[in-house]
Amino acid sequence: FSDPFLNRRRANDFIQADSRLRAITQERIRERSKAHHEHQRELCEDYYPCEMYAFRHGYPAAYKHYFGGRRRTK
């Protein structure tokens, strides 16, 4: 086998379809179950004043300053 390039059919033999689907499923599960501090940081990053406050005082302090008094109900 001297040709370094593979045709499409042989290239697809390396990766099994169900392993790709399993990887995508695992990624979706990880997206849904984020850590509490990561969720807080994303909320703060989406709100510009909170993000600016975070640059000076850190994300935990910024989240507490802007969102700490709010209680969410589910």
Residue pLDDT, tens place only, 24-68? 788 877 767 778 888 888 889 999 999 999 999 999 999 999 998
Q: Report the candidate in 69, 64, 72, 74 with the shortest Cα–Cα distance to residue 41.
A: 64
In a domain, 73, yes or no: no
In a domain, 1, yes or no: no
In a domain, 14, yes or no: yes
Which pLDDT score, from 0 to 100, does residue 62 have? 93
In a domain, 29, yes or no: yes
Distance (Å, whole) CA 38 – CA 47: 15
Indicate the number of domains in the chain. 1
In a domain, 25, yes or no: yes
- The boundaries of the domain holding residue 47 are 10-68
Three-state helix/strand/coil letters over 21-65: HHHHHHHHHHHHCCCHHHHHHHHHHHCHHHHHHHHHHCHHHHHHH
